Amino acid sequence: MAGRRRAMSRAGSLVALGALLVAVPACGGGGAPADARSTAVQHVLDRRAAAVVAGDTTAYRATGDADPTLLSDLAEVPLDGWSYRLTRLGRTEHARATATAELRYRVEGYDKAPVVTERTLTLRQRAGHWYVTGDRPAKKSAEQLWEQGRVTVVKGAHSLVLGVGQRRAVLRSYAEDADDAVPAVDSAWGTGWARRVVVVVPKSLDGMGGLLGAPAAGYQGIAAVTTGEAGGSGTAPADRIIVNPEAYSVLGYFGKQVVLTHETTHVATRADTSAATPLWLSEGYADWAGYRGSGRTPAQAAPELQRAVRGGSAPGSLPDDADFGFSGDSADLAQAYESGWLACRMIADDWGEGKLNAFYKAVGGHRQRAGAVDGALQSVLGIDEREFEARWRAYVRDQLG
């Protein structure tokens, strides 16, 4: 998918989820011509969407047999739009059909563009009219939060927290943590970003997996991830910070603040993060912002890398993107993050924080990965990639040896 990428982290991730769909012609069947059936189905979907926005249970029930609890589950969510676009209507058999549609919705005050997700709909025809009998995520699409239960909403000064199965007081604490993270990111990155975040808190780890459209086991021990579009701009929906409540709840205040500052950094840097940005830089920078000003020493923040250095197995090069996968060894994953963090810390120490930010933006400004880091190093820091890695290896030994 052009302009989108997937990247993971222990505390968070830069994850591109969902896809823009391509409309395909409606399939044939018995009865009315395909275009007439499609028009009729689109009409009922339009009525259904209008009922959701208006919170009109009677109008919603009139569009089908689907459970109207959707409206109560969405009651607190500040929607600024909800629409369906029919992309495929299957063959009609016995007055029943299956359809595929794009669901587009926006959260007021946060989404400048709609979130787009693919849905599979089942329909039934009665007395010449179509009705929706089922509405679920398409095969490769993730669940939406309201499919897991009634959504509770808490607003902070810089945050909107959406939760399911969580007490309002608990969600308020998430908002307070996120509100503290925004000025911390401002201090590191600057204020040239939206300066507000959407935090999504499912009931459990399984709920987190459902929202990400992936097996929950892959996120066990991961406190949060961030979803969004690389190179995001004013035409992209707001990022979502999706929390694993089971892992997040056992953290102390400092750990929670590092996690949410890390995630919020991904939100702030999104427009300057592209396919050219290696994960050691995007995740290392987010960790750098998270630990910045905390007083944590390299030995405290990079124990796995220190263990490798003192054991004579220090890495000889910066980690590849593959080293950041969740399915590998946890110690190796930690080393990847710690390596990226120390690389960013070294730039801030030796060249200054302004140069670190300029380097990040210069790398993301390249159209492709090849040559992006080397070109940015030479234009911003005045050294090439080989010299940078040599200095990084010496810095790692000096800080952790």
Confidence of residue 328 (pLDDT cuts 50, 70, 90): low
CA 274 – CA 370 distance, rounded (Å): 12
pLDDT of residue 91: 82
Taken in order of first residue, the domains within the chain and their CATH numbers are: 1-14+143-273 (3.40.30), 34-141 (3.10.450.50), 274-401 (no CATH)
Q: Which tens digits make up the pLDDT trace of 193-228? A: 999 999 999 999 999 999 999 999 889 889 999 998
pLDDT of residue 325: 82
pLDDT of residue 315: 94
The answer to whether the CB of 131 falls within 8 A of the CB of 254 is: no
Q: Which tens digits make up the pLDDT trace of 147-165? A: 999 999 999 999 999 999 9
Q: Which tens digits make up the pLDDT trace of 261-289? A: 999 999 999 999 999 999 999 999 999 99
| Closest C-alpha among 222, 232, 321 to residue 268 | 232
Q: Which tens digits make up the pLDDT trace of 360-399? A: 999 999 999 999 999 999 999 999 999 999 999 999 999 9
The answer to whether the CB of 249 falls within 8 A of the CB of 210 is: no
Prediction pTM value: 0.88
User: Amino acid identity of 400?
Assistant: L
Is residue 74 scored above 90 in pLDDT?
yes
Report residue 153: phi and psi, to 5°.
Answer: -120, 130
pLDDT of residue 26: 32
pLDDT of residue 16: 33
Burial 358-374 (b: 16+ CB within 10 A, else e): bbbbbbbebeeeeebbb
- 170 or 17, greater pLDDT: 170
DSSP E strands in 69-146: the ranges are: 79-89, 96-107, 115-126, 129-137
CA 30 – CA 10 distance, rounded (Å): 53
Is residue 4 scored above 70 in pLDDT?
no
Pick from 19-33, 341-355, 373-387: least confident: 19-33
pLDDT of residue 18: 30
Pick from 21-25, 171-175, 274-278: least confident: 21-25
Name the burial class of residue 15, with classes exposed (0-12), middle (13-18) and buried (19+) by CB atoms within 10 angstroms of its CB.
buried
First and final C-alpha spacing in the chain: 43
Q: Which tens digits make up the pLDDT trace of 77-101? A: 999 999 999 999 998 788 999 999 9
pLDDT of residue 280: 98
Q: Which tens digits make up the pLDDT trace of 109-150? A: 999 999 999 999 999 999 989 999 999 999 999 999 999 999
Which ranges constitute the DSSP H helices of 55-132? 57-61, 69-73
The answer to whether the CB of 290 falls within 8 A of the CB of 337 is: no
